[in-house]
Structure 1
Amino acid sequence: MPEFDTSHVKNVVLLGHAGCGKTTLAECMLFEAGLINRRGSIEERNTIGDYHQLEQERGNSIFSKLMHTKWRGYKINILDTPGYDDFVGEVLSALRVADTGVMLLNATTGVEVGTDVIWEYTEKFRTPMIFAVNKLDDDHSDFDKTVQEAKDHFGGKVTVVQYPVQQGAGFHEIVDVLRMVMYKFKDTGGKPEKQPIPASEKDRADQLHKELVEAVASNDESLMEKYFDKGELDEDELKEGMRKAMINHDLFPLFSLSTLRNMGSGRLMGFIDNVCPSANEMPPQVTIKGEKLPCDANGPACIFVYKTISEPHVGDLSFFKVYSGTIKTGMELVNETNGVVEKINQLFLMEGNKRTAVNELVAGDIGATLKLKNTHVNNTLHIKGKNYELPPIQFPSPNMTVSIEPVNKGEEEKMAQAMHQIREEDPTLIIEVSSELKQTLVHSQGDMHLAVAKWKIENNHKVLVKFGKPRIPYRETIRKTAEANYRHKKQSGGAGQFGEVFIRIEPYYDGMPDPAGLNVRGRDVFDLDWGGKLAYYNCIVGGAIDARFIPSILKGIMEKMQEGPLTGSYVRDVRVSIYDGKMHPVDSNDISFKIAGIMAFKQAFKQADPQVMEPVYKVEVLCPEDLTGAIMGDLQSRRGIVEGMDTEGNFQKIIATVPLAELHDFSSSLRSISQGRAKFSMKFDSYAPLSFELQKKLVDEYHKTETEVVA
């Protein structure tokens, strides 16, 4: 029998901007429950959560961690998450399996950009949320300002449950307006003494209590009737009403903390086990096919893998949540994605990097298992005879791209294996072998994300690598009509080669009229894999070129379009008309006309006012108002055009279009300008003409490279 049934398991994810105190809160929760006898600290590099060498070196969380504690008859699974947007994948995977979120707010800085970003995801998941204002012992803390910012950003559903009597170094008393008591802490923190609310605080406490009661009652008709009848709700009625309102995202209770001095964490834990919903109280999961899957320990076994890490000398450790049934060691489950049967040989509870073996886990619980050979993040496993597939985590698009290559030649395959393993652990890191750019590319969330990937490759896989600036996927096109012809003639004994082609090329656009003065006998319009179109017209009359050679000419033109005449980039939006040529009864063949097509196209292209097009991206930056001037200046220095500004809560959103060639180091530049207080996203917008000066520079560089290769 499992130690806790489904209704006594609570899954909580700790969220918030970097530096708000999430990892320290997790230490307090473990300490208060007696699982550890001494609280670790970030400075001493000995917390349960930040156990990884890289986290200890950097002084901040990089990976999400699973821990658990036992508190007054309940098991609380704690998911600690990183605060930097570069590691948003870790936050999303933890949010996917949590039943309650605790959003920490730094009382000295209020609502930060990272908080706002994470909030968007909690809204998508509809995660019940608690706010906790931390660092109230700091001399620069401002509780009232932080609460007002929370209400401004997240709405009037943010409702105060606790507030500090004093702030700064003297912080040691918290008024709880749910229980209508005051908690007085010793300087060392820990368990507080309950005291009556002092007269000086009675009016404020009564007002906030009334606001809490009205907020709870307004979301439940039966409670509203009781409130009208009695003019009050008792504590049990308030708790039940708060649970329902939290599940419906109608109420976000706010608590007060000092995690550094361990003040307030015990009361928060009490609220989690008394009020916050268990998995079986949340709406049932809905499969991709629309089938509801209630969280029932007696139901059909079904788990969802939300995270994978590779442990040296051990293998892949898969983290999962049990969404239905009871999982036992030795059980065989089917992976719905690939149909492979996986045997659950071991089950673990996690405490940071420590594993505790157990025999079973019930619906609603979170655990880990080793060596699932064909199972990955976002896979659903279930008992045989079912076809459950739960919705996958939707990870965000990358914001930064670099090229990667091994420092030592001959280690390409070893690097590829390392990259595959890292990609397995981190779905937000995308690896691309680009045939167009002839580079291996790494697409990431930012420079910190890349630094972690590099550290893993070099330390875990022993391959030295270097990042570089990726080549830019330029495009080539033309702006006027031109004609050219080319005769390919080769005699080398026996059968020779002969083919002559006359072509006209024009800028292509949809709906353009047929070419003037030519007799169109056949036309094809091709959607090119790299964007844009090629229109290919057969205008041959009198049998000057046999019809069987027309596809060969097209093949040559398409080949040259994959390595354009100016910079070697793809060519797009061109119409080519073949209108004359010559054949030889013996020497003409497919290769002759293919070569003639290549050379005629190349000559005509260079005479048709060729234009290099560069990719332009839409960039959106979310930042505090005082940073807008510096950030807009940086964007403009990158040939960016600021298209407008918008307001999101207390933040400004800068919207700009910027050439991709100028965005290579934007992530690190923005972090430096904003000290981590801004974030950005980017997506492809369009191709735009490159200036004459930059085009000439690119063409000269390409021709120099061509000359060096020939030499």
Structure 2
Amino acid sequence: MANFDSKHVKNVVLVGHTGSGKTTLIESMLFESGLINRRGTVLDKNTVADYTEIEHEKGKTFFSKLVNTKWKGYKINLLDTPGYDDFAGEIVGAMRVADCGVMVLNATMGVEVGTDIIWEYTEAYKLPMLLAVNHLDNEKSDFDKSVREAKNHFGTNVVVVQYPVNQGESFNAIVDVLNMVLYQYLKEGGKPEKLPIPDEEKERANQLHQELIETIAGNDETLMERYFEKGELDEDEMKLGLHHSLIKHEIFPIFCVSAKQNMGCGRIMSFIDNVCPSAYEMPKQKTIEGAEIECTETADAALFIYKTLSEPHIGDLSFFKVLSGKIKVGDELTNENTGQIERINQLFEVEGSKRTAVNELVAGDIGATLKLKDTHTNNTLHEKGKPIEIVPIEFPNPTLTVAVEGTKKGEEEKLSMALHQLVEEDPTIRVEVSAELRQTLIHCHGELHLAVIRWKLENALKLSVEFKAPKIPYRETIRKAAETIYRHKKQSGGAGQFAEVAMKIEPWYEEMPDPVGYSIRGKEVHDLPWGGKLVYYNCIVGGAIDARFHPSILKGIMEKMSEGPLTGSYVRDIRVIIFDGKMHTVDSNDLAFKTAGMMAFKENFHNADPLLLEPFHKIVIHAPEELTGAIMSTIQSHRAMVEGMDAEGHFSIVKALVPYAETQQLTSDLRALTQGRARFTLAFSHYDEVPFDLQKKLVSESKQELELV
């Protein structure tokens, strides 16, 4: 197999809304390069990129894939990605290791929801980006509309390099205004015939050619001077200008394709080969300390894991990009994140489900290896004694939470291992075993993401599971002071139990002054694990309660605070004053005072105007301007409090605080309302009061549950 140096390796990620044709375009690109001799289709379930069982079943791409091919002396690594924002982790992971991207647009739809959302990721990474208008063979295709929308959404530096002559069902010709030629295709597509531009197209072609030159020159001072001198730029100068502007994320050239008919696909491959940058030409990767990494074969060896895939009977397959140096079979590298020494026993070039063993991979290349002992996605491996840790991928936060439990007894450990495997493969999934809620929670990115998780658990991992709504982590507190004297007395033959505690409780708040009218002998401030504080005062005078019993009283209080009197939720922000009591020389002991402290606290709590608190999350919604009014109405119907609105391009940004109990239904309603055109993030904000009627209902339900136990 041919070896390629760093200058002859290109990494290209294909992105776009679902249905834009990314997988089909890759299939045609592989056919043009000679990697395959027959093009598969999504419908026939035989494409190179979509090879998993669930993708065959659903006819959609759910996971990023790596496919490498060879083209005119270059190795091109193509990364296919999903089109749904639910799988944003797969998209950003692939983008993180790519050096160029192709945004595929559906000519019948223009700039769609997923396109807008994905474009924000390209902006964050400043990734060189081509636009490929696909489906030009469809009777409803509208190339000009797609161009207008692309310019409106992505900026005026979107520039036409190609346009279709006869889009629609008879589509077979493309005018290329970079090299001023007409490409005409046979019915079966493939390699076109190069022809002069027809007279009736010359005016438009010349106009677009001039626009292309002016856009290129406008982003390069040297080329601008040449343009002023000559009034023209030749093809090589234009390609050089495009090359530099792509690297700087300043120009976004538009190409024409019919991936299904294999028209225009080879031209994109040639542009990638001639104009798009390799990894060594891109801005240098940085370590977390800010140092730059030289993407050269002569530097110290280092690699970055961007994806992990667990395969039956094989184990974990780690996908990586070589940051610097050369990675060879037999190398022993240090994992900077774990300190583990990892031996590279095998190296693979990847063609979808096919893996070809190689002896080495050079800086800038992408490949895979098997059975690393303790290495995960986002880890950096380097030569011993030559530490490097790259800035990790920032995966988006989850927006949907459900509780999961197995329906068969005895499968608890199997379910736990399966959930661990899911997280290993997809870092955007978070699994939480909540002792408070007594539930295992899955945090993910939407209903489609959840559907894929369920499919994996049930079909790939052979588990029977049930998803439920997560319980709400309420908190309990009080609004006023209360005091009581509680006596615990128990006699059952022999030594008995006796303890009497006089206790006052009050709401606690920051910078609260010490209580007045008490002789303070001791003060303890406890930061509670679940948030808030317990402040405990020992105000006993005259030895009414021995000092050795105070830890037991406190223990009883804390026990009741961990299972509150109203709904069994955690209690927070309470000040407790122990100001009197009694003890017995024989019958008083730690257990008696623990019980007395617990019961005194419980009695006081019910008399102190108890209050239930609920968690509020901050939601930030990015949506097209025209949907703002409907979104405002929807979020307010879910008890949300709008904090403000901003504008960002053609998007409105709505910020609000919403009760956690409402978030599940709210996010579902937002997706339905906006047809997926809104993107939102959720993050915990604070606790606030539950409305009185809802509190009454929740307390009643809690009592009924306790009666059933």
Aligned to 1:45: 45
Deviations 1:415-439 (A, max 9, x none): 1111111111111111111001011
Deviations 1:322-366 (A, max 9, x none): 111122222222222222222212111111111111122111111
Shift of 1:209: 2.0
Shift of 1:257: 1.9
Aligned to 1:182: 182
Shift of 1:612: 0.9
- In 2: Cα distance, 1:287 partner to 1:644 partner: 36
Shift of 1:219: 2.6
Shift of 1:205: 2.3
Q: Which runs of 5+ in 1 are unaligned?
A: none
- In 1: Cα distance, 2:368 partner to 2:64 partner: 14
Is 1:489 paired with 2:492? no
- In 1: Cα distance, 2:632 partner to 2:165 partner: 42
- In 2: Cα distance, 1:226 partner to 1:349 partner: 43
State the one-letter code of the partner of 1:580: D
SS in 1 for 2:169: helix
- In 2: Cα distance, 1:105 partner to 1:10 partner: 22
Shift of 1:398: 0.8
Aligned to 2:578: 578
SS in 2 for 1:62: coil
SS in 1 for 2:664: coil
Shift of 1:155: 2.0
- In 2: Cα distance, 1:575 partner to 1:606 partner: 15
Is 1:210 paired with 2:210? yes
Aligned to 1:334: 334
> What is the 5 A alignment of 1:205-284?
205-284=205-284
Deviations 1:305-335 (A, max 9, x none): 1111111111111111111112222222222
- In 2: Cα distance, 1:497 partner to 1:225 partner: 97
Aligned to 1:102: 102
State the one-letter code of the partner of 1:445: H
State the one-letter code of the partner of 2:224: M
Q: Which runs of 5+ in 2 are unaligned?
A: none
Kept in 1, the 8 Å contact 2:638–2:666? The answer is: no
- In 1: Cα distance, 2:215 partner to 2:203 partner: 18
- In 1: Cα distance, 2:525 partner to 2:208 partner: 69
Aligned to 1:395: 395
Deviations 1:340-394 (A, max 9, x none): 2222121111111111111221111111111112111111112222111112111
- In 2: Cα distance, 1:305 partner to 1:169 partner: 44
> What is the 5 A alignment of 1:18-57?
18-57=18-57
Aligned to 2:150: 150
- In 2: Cα distance, 1:277 partner to 1:595 partner: 73
* Inter-CA distance 455–94: structure 2 relative to 1 (3 Å threshold): same
Shift of 1:704: 1.9
- In 2: Cα distance, 1:180 partner to 1:555 partner: 84
Residues 173-182 or 613-622, more deviating: 613-622
Shift of 1:645: 4.7
Deviations 1:476-506 (A, max 9, x none): 1111121122112223344332221112222
Aligned to 1:12: 12
Is 1:432 paired with 2:457? no
Residues 698-707 or 544-553, more deviating: 544-553
- In 2: Cα distance, 1:458 partner to 1:472 partner: 27
- In 2: Cα distance, 1:284 partner to 1:159 partner: 27
Shift of 1:672: 4.0
- In 2: Cα distance, 1:581 partner to 1:174 partner: 94
Deviations 1:510-559 (A, max 9, x none): 12333343333333333322222222222222332223322322222122
Aligned to 1:454: 454
Residues 423-432 or 507-516, more deviating: 507-516
> What is the 5 A alignment of 1:191-590?
191-590=191-590
Shift of 1:64: 0.3
Shift of 1:658: 2.6
Aligned to 1:706: 706
- In 2: Cα distance, 1:140 partner to 1:275 partner: 32
State the one-letter code of the partner of 1:281: E
State the one-letter code of the partner of 2:298: N
- In 2: Cα distance, 1:229 partner to 1:32 partner: 40
Shift of 1:630: 5.5
> What is the 5 A alignment of 1:93-172?
93-172=93-172
Deviations 1:558-609 (A, max 9, x none): 2211111000111112222222211222322222222111111111111111
Shift of 1:402: 0.7
How well do the aligned residues superpose, as a CA RMSD in angstroms?
2.0
Shift of 1:93: 1.1
- In 2: Cα distance, 1:508 partner to 1:402 partner: 33
SS in 2 for 1:664: helix
Residues 560-569 or 321-330, more deviating: 321-330
Shift of 1:10: 0.4
Residues 47-56 or 577-586, more deviating: 577-586
SS in 2 for 1:488: strand
- In 1: Cα distance, 2:571 partner to 2:667 partner: 30
Kept in 2, the 8 Å contact 1:2–1:362? The answer is: no
SS in 2 for 1:253: strand
Give the TM-score, by structure 2 length: 0.96
State the one-letter code of the partner of 2:321: K
Kept in 1, the 8 Å contact 2:165–2:171? The answer is: yes
* Inter-CA distance 637–57: structure 2 relative to 1 (3 Å threshold): farther
Shift of 1:639: 3.3
